[in-house]
Structures are given as C-alpha cells and as structure tokens.
Amino acid sequence: MEKRLRLGIFGFGVVGQGLYDIIKTKQLNLEIKKFVIKHPEKKRTLPQELFHTNPNDILEDPEINTVIELIDDAEVAFEIVSKALQNGKNVVSANKKMIGSHLKELVELQQANNVSLLYEGAVCGSIPIIRNLEEYYDNELLHSISGIFNGSSNYILSKIFNENLEYAVALKQAQDLGFAESNPVLDVGGFDAKYKLVIAASHAYGLFIDPEEVLNIGIETLNDKDVRFAKEKNLKIKLVPTARKINDKQVILYVLPKLVDKENILYQVENEYNGVVVQAAFADQQFFYGKGAGGHPTGSAVLSDIAALRYDYRYEYKKHLTTDDSDLEGYSSNWDLNVYLRYEDNNLIEKLGFKSISERYEADNFKYVIGTINLSKLIENREILNQEGVFIAEKD
C-alpha cells in the first residue's frame, strides 16, 4: 500500500533545485514540509517560511518521515543521516563521499532501526545502476564493472579531444556550466569516481571497501604531449574506474585515466554523460548510458528513490549476506596492469618496478614508456604519480 511521505530536505543547491523542479510537475503522494539551508541570506524562489537553518527542525519533527540529504559536506551529511536513521526516518542521499566512506556503518544503522537509506543519485546521476546491481544482478556472477562515472572530467576530456581546447579552458567551461566545483579536485583527481566505484562494487560483490585503500589517479597532470600521443594512435583518454574479480577469489578496484580505441564502447561517451559497462558471466556485457552531472538528471534519480519509499523499498544487501559463505576472499591490489607513463626523471621507471617494457621513447621534452606494472606499486607511489611532469594511463 502506498504511504504518504512528508519530506524534510537538507540543501537547496543545484540538485535540490532540480529535485524541486521535477516534484512540482508530478502528482505524487508527498509533501515538502521544510528545507534546512546553510545560507539563509540567499534569495529563494519558494516561500521563506519553508527554509530553516537548524537541522533539528527536520530531524526532531515527528511529522517528517523522510529525510532528503543533498549537501556537499560529507561529514556533516553523515551526522545528519545517522541521526535521521536513529530517529526512525527513511533517508535518500546523493552524497557519494559520505556513503562511500561510511557505508558499513550506515547499513548497520538501517538494520538496527528498521529503516531505509537509498542513494541511487550518488552514483552516475540519472543511470539506475545501484538498483540494477541490487536486483537484476542479485544472482549473477559479475566479472567487472567499469566505465565513466564522473561527468565533469568527461566533459573536460571531450572538449580537449573534440575541440582542441586547452585543459584550463575546458575546466573553466565545466565550472561555468555547474558540472565542476570551484575547487575541482574531487572530480579531476578521480576522488568522486572512486567513491562511486566503492559503492557500486559493494552492491556487485558484497564487500565493504575503505576508499582510502583504493588507487585514484586523475587527469590533473594531462598535457598536450599525452593528447598528441593518443590522437596519433587514434585513441582517446577517458577517466575510468574499474572493479574486477580476479582469480575467482578476489576483487580489485582502481581509478585511472585510460587510453581507449574506437572499438571500446566508452570511446563515444562524451561531455557530461556517463557510461557503465557490466561484464557478467551469464548476461555477458551490458551497457548503461545517461547524464551523470546536472541538477535535473541527479534530481530524477533522487525522486526515483523517494517514490520507492512510498512502498517501503529498501536495499537488501543480498550479496553481503552470502559473501561469508562464498569463495570470495576480499579486496586485493595484487594485479598487473599495462600502462602508458609520461615522465621526466629516469629513476621513476626503476622506482615503480616495471615488470616489462614493450615501448620506450625519449626526447628532450617528452619521455614515455608502455609496460606492465603491479597495481600495488602504483598505490605505493601514488603521490609521485600525481605530481607535475608525470602522467599515467591504463592501456589495453
């Protein structure tokens, strides 16, 4: 039976406004009772009495049965969501950093308080990947999940490769359009994609993985030499998070730029769009495509979760319940990758411990190698790999 939802919403930024725009066009059995905002001095398009600054105005209101968390501070969001769940309220969130960093604790809170936390909007915007991993693939053996999870970095790379824009110009465009923040490191540094990957991998493999253990290298040090190298070989560079089952017993996770050719389905994913590739034992390869940035795409995913709560939907975490009895041993970093590495210091090649080198080029202003290296060595040297003068990308 459908129940009436009375919403308390934290945040009225890009996603909050997008969600409201969608809700007002729908005839749904729900009511927005209050917003809690950080900056009450801002002019709003809604009646002022809807806006509050004290979180307890929502969290302690017995009439509000559903909390929507749409703020950008992960630790404050965790406090809000934790208290909401403890107070017996269902929660919808789009905060990938908060969820990725605290998922195990949040699952325990849900179970202890018999409530639901849904977060489809936290992973890949409008693409319904979490619900599919949880429901459609619940009995499937998944070999890998990979793709383009961050619309901001993909927009930047698209402008560089398709319109020959410089990195700084493409980044400024992404910021002006609201795809990238004023401090874009979460996007271009691969952190945003990493948090999303950890969440998706949890539903795919039944594991809680600490994001701090997962390698993320972004596109901040990309330069014209890397772009020219890729174009000469008819390749594009995409920022690709990957979760893969190895040896039928362990799972690896990493976020790296990747050189992709025209045969790769991700080659055609451009601008703020995301694309998720699921490789399964029985269903084979499936591809999910949609907008990954912007208020309305993310707002639509949030509304989908809200609508599901009208029927008491919750994630069952089925694979987490069966992991202890399976052959899966957990997270690993022991896996060899084929990479392209641009560098300046010759000592870096030895420090990284390449197992083999298939191609090497040295000129006065451009040095690169292509070879095989263990993921654990990349994690060990992640600080060096994020420095100016170095750029690394996975290469098939």
- End-to-end CA, the chain: 50
Residues 29, 31, 37, 39, CA torsion sign: positive
Can you tell me the distance from the alpha carbon of 96 to that of 383, in angstroms, rounded to the nearest whole number? 23
Q: Three-state SS for 227? A: helix
* CA-to-CA separations, 152 to 80, 93, 260, 392, in angstroms, rounded: 27, 20, 18, 19
Can you tell me the distance from the alpha carbon of 272 to that of 14, in angstroms, rounded to the nearest whole number? 15
Burial class (CB in 10 A: 0-12, 13-18, 19+), 121: buried
Strand partners, 278: 145, 286
Can you tell me the distance from the alpha carbon of 121 to that of 355, in angstroms, rounded to the nearest whole number? 40
Can you tell me the distance from the alpha carbon of 179 to that of 181, in angstroms, rounded to the nearest whole number? 7
Q: Three-state SS for 202? A: helix
DSSP single-letter state for residue 283: T
CB-based contacts of 41, cutoff 8 Å, min separation 6 = none
Place of tokens 């809680």: 208
245 is catalytic: no
Give me the catalytic one of 89, 96, 159, 196.
196
Query: Is there a contact between 275 and 264 (Cβ–Cβ < 8 Å)?
Result: no
The amino acid occupying position 302 is V
Q: Three-state SS for 338? A: strand
Strands (E), the chain: 5-10, 30-36, 51-52, 66-69, 90-93, 117-118, 142-148, 215-216, 236-246, 250-260, 273-280, 284-291, 330-331, 336-343, 356-362, 367-374, 391-395
CB-based contacts of 11, cutoff 8 Å, min separation 6 = 35, 36, 37, 38, 69, 70, 71, 72
Residues labelled as active-site residues? 196
